Amino acid sequence: MLFLVRMDVHIPLDMAPAVADDIKAREKAYAQDLQRSGKWKHLYRVVGEYANYSIFDVESNDELHALLSGLPLFPYMTIKVTPLAKHPSSIA
């Protein structure tokens, strides 16, 4: 199952820089592991925002929820999920 996911990050302004840096480092490692596994197919930055659009390829809604809620930045995110289906005009 393919999903388009938009993630907007809202780190609290009063968070200690060292804490924020640690969370971001763990986030990067987690995201890269998911990309290597093939679950996180694509990751695109939204220009000028602390946000991204991503494509996930997972077995179920529950799997996607588990992966997203495992993100170290999850408590500081607004997430919008859009299920995707093959378009009948697509040549891919």
Structure tokens at 1: 């199952």
User: CA–CA separation, 82 vs 89, rounded Å?
Assistant: 19
Evaluate whether residue 35 is within a structural domain: yes
Assess if residue 52 is contained within a domain: yes
- Residue 24 belongs to some domain of the structure: yes
Q: What is the pLDDT of residues 2-36, one digit of tens each?
A: 999 999 999 999 999 999 999 999 999 999 999 99
Tell me, yes or no, whether 91 lies in a domain.
no
pTM reported for the whole predicted model: 0.93
Q: What is the CATH number of the domain that holds 40?
A: 3.30.70.1060
- Report the Cα 47 to chain-centroid distance in Å: 16
